[in-house]
Amino acid sequence: MSLADSYRHCETLARRTGKNFYYSFLTLPRDRYQAMCALYAFMRVTDDLGDSEDSPANRARALADWKTRFEQAWSTGETNDPILPAVVDMLRRHNVPTRYLTDVIAGVEMDLHPVAIQDFDELNRYCYHVAGAVGLACIHVWGFHDERAIPLAIDCGTALQLTNILRDVREDALLGRVYLPAVDLEQFGVRREDLTAPVASPQVIQLLEFQARRAREYYDRVRPLFQYLDPPGRPILETMIDIYGGLLSEIERRRFDVFSRRVELGKFKKLLFAARNVVRHKCRGWFRTT
């Protein structure tokens, strides 16, 4: 597959399956948009291998094979995988360390067996692998000019992942994955089986309120990141925060009813966020130069 065909394949995959992320990509210049589609495609394939209906042992083998094929494509430039030519080009073009992508594979491997998180330190390590490492890759694609962007990109990934955990708490619990720390469950008198009930108990709602406040703290931490990014990265960061912060707001508006139906934002609203942020940042740049 040619490099151009590989990028087109990644764009198609991102457009078809990237329900939240894809709309933020639209704020980027064409070359960085393509790079983000390649990065997303890698993450999508990795997640799908980890979430397949195969046995944990077979999923582990599939992830190990995927890691090997990625590392071979990186070292030799040769691959017959449709997305890896674009992924390797993205990494080289934007100086993205390969360890960020292998850290994500390690994070997906953590989900191969029932998950029980003991405390927030453990949850924070998990969030780094499945989201913080992605944030680090993203800022290399977007461009940044201050090393203080690095820990903030990890915090941004944590904020987004904490939102996902809240949204999917029952769905994950039914799969044997409880990401809410055991110490927090104990604090609010919640049992693991309470998270699989069709209706949230008052104790569960209090627990989710506590987790939402924690997520808000991470969104607040991320604000200084804007000033450390190059201009092309600022609209996409703001759009991502708008979309995932909007999901969190919708969860709060529904009084944490994430049990009866999945919380999502409409396509029009996400496109509106993207368009508004492009215009806003272009106007800021215009006023600074006039």
Model pLDDT for residues 73-122, shown as the tens digit of each residue: 999 999 999 999 999 999 999 999 999 999 999 999 999 988 899 999 99
**Whole-number pLDDT of residue 289:** 40
**Whole-number pLDDT of residue 264:** 81
Average pLDDT over residues 248-277: 81
Per the CB < 8 A criterion, the answer to whether 42 and 101 are in contact is yes
Kindly report, residue by residue over 30-55, the tens digit of the pLDDT: 999 999 999 999 999 999 999 888 99
Between CA 80 and CA 90, with CA 86 as vertex, the angle to 5 degrees is: 140
**Whole-number pLDDT of residue 248:** 95
As a whole-number percent, the residues of the chain with pLDDT over 90 amount to 80
Q: Which two tokens stand for residue 274?
A: 């993207």
Distances (CA, A) of 276 to 96, 141, 153, 184, 281: 29, 22, 22, 38, 9
List Cβ neighbours of 19 (8 Å cut-off, separation of 6 or more).
264
Q: Which of 106, 9, 125, 101 is nearest to 50 (CA)?
A: 106
* CATH 1.10.600.10 intervals, the chain: 1-110, 114-290
Class of domain 1-110: mainly alpha
Instruction: Indicate the CATH number of 114-290 among 1.10.600.10, 3.30.2320.50, 1.10.540.10, 2.30.30.190.
Output: 1.10.600.10
Question: Between helices 233-253 and 202-222, what is the axis angle to 10°?
Answer: 160
User: Whole-model pTM?
Assistant: 0.91
Task: Decide if pLDDT at 287 tops 60.
Answer: no
